[in-house]
Amino acid sequence: MTLDSAAVLDTDTLRKQPDYGFAFKAPQAFLQRINPNDPKDPLLLQIRPDPQEGQEVAGFKTDPVGDLHKNPIPSLLHKYHGRVLLMASPRCDLHCRYCFRRHFPYQEQINRRHWQEALDYIRRDDSIHEVILSGGDPLTLNPEALLQLLAEIEQIPQVKTLRFHSRTPIAIPEKPVHRSIIQWAEKTRLNAVMVIHCNHPQELNQETAALFTAYRQSGIHLLNQSVLLKQINDSIEALEALSHKLFSQGVLPYYLHQLDRVSGSAHFEVNQATAQALHTSLRERLPGYLLPKLVQEISGEPYKTPL
């Protein structure tokens, strides 16, 4: 990449900036989609540490969704009926500044030592028909470890569906782990779902299109979740284009999340009235199957709350 003197995308400088307790991290494959001359680039704004992260804002907490108290065993969340979320990896390929897990005590909570305990918990509960692999990001596991985990889940008879929640398809569409998942999906008895995390149409390119084609050919259903983010995708144009571009790459919009109020993320928040107005405009413009559900995670609710 050639950078002229006006370039805002200088990764050495980004790395040396204060990081407010959450390191700067972005792979080359993602950085390439940033316009280096646009200080307001919607991808750059998601990854660049910002002094506003250091400000304390009332109502923004370190554990906004109360997850830390919902673990029946470390690394397993069983909040909703019929499905459990297994935090399979403490890492992500990309650090999103608004992330609600930026203060999560990953090293204590997520450890492969806990997998057997989590699998035992699932085996004991007949009502669990879906296992969601999340994190961090499950696609940061080494492929052998991930395949081993998938094989163990597959042996639990009441589990019918395996869902991945991952931003890796966007962060690194050409990562070798995708190939392992595709080969697994071609043979598995489970329904396989991949919920990617894409916030802006500019995150989608030829590499993501090729990856999603391969995923779909292997039988994996592709859905997308986004977070509504001020200055990044809080316009009808961006959201409408996102839905259409996702669909052109074989992905259906699923959720549009109101930001979880984690400390350091207040400057990304879109207020409720604006969020609802945007969603209503989207509804007027999009076919129903391209309209994501606008939801918020409210501690103690048995589902993601529609707004």
Ligand X SMILES: *Cc1c(COP(=O)(O)O)cnc(C)c1O
Interacting residue ranges for ligand X, rule: CB under 6 A = 77, 79-80, 83, 85, 132, 303-304
185 near ligand SF4, judged by CB under 6 A = no
Question: Does the footprint of ligand SF4 cover residue 86 (CB under 6 A)?
Answer: no
Adjacent-strand bridge partners of 259: none
Which residues lie across from 162 on neighbouring strands? 131, 192
Q: Is residue 128 part of the contact set for ligand SF4 (CB under 6 A)?
A: no
Using the rule CB under 6 A, which residue among 92, 110, 139, 229 binds ligand SF4? Answer: 92
Question: Residue 23: how many CB atoms within 10 A of its CB?
Answer: 10
Going by the DSSP 8-state scheme, the letter that residue 58 receives in this structure is T
Q: Which stretch binds ligand SF4 (CB under 6 A): 87-95, 142-150, 182-190, 294-302?
A: 87-95
Cα atoms in the Cβ-side hemisphere of radius 13 Å centred on 127? 7
What span, in angstroms and rounded, lies between the C-alpha atoms of 119 and 117? Answer: 5
Q: Which residues of 33-42 are buried (b: 16+ CB within 10 A; e: fewer)?
A: bbebeeeebb
> Which one, 99 or 294, has the nearer CB to ligand SF4?
99
Min separation Cβ 189 and ligand SF4, Å: 28
Instruction: Tell the smallest beta-carbon distance from residue 79 to ligand X (Å).
Output: 4
Instruction: Select from ligand SF4, ligand X, none the partner in contact with residue 85, using the beta carbon and a kind-dependent cut-off of 5 to 8 Å.
Output: ligand X
Compose the 189-218 pattern: x for residues touching ligand SF4 by CB under 6 A, - for all others: --------x---------------------
Closest CA to 214 of 260, 261, 169, 147: 169
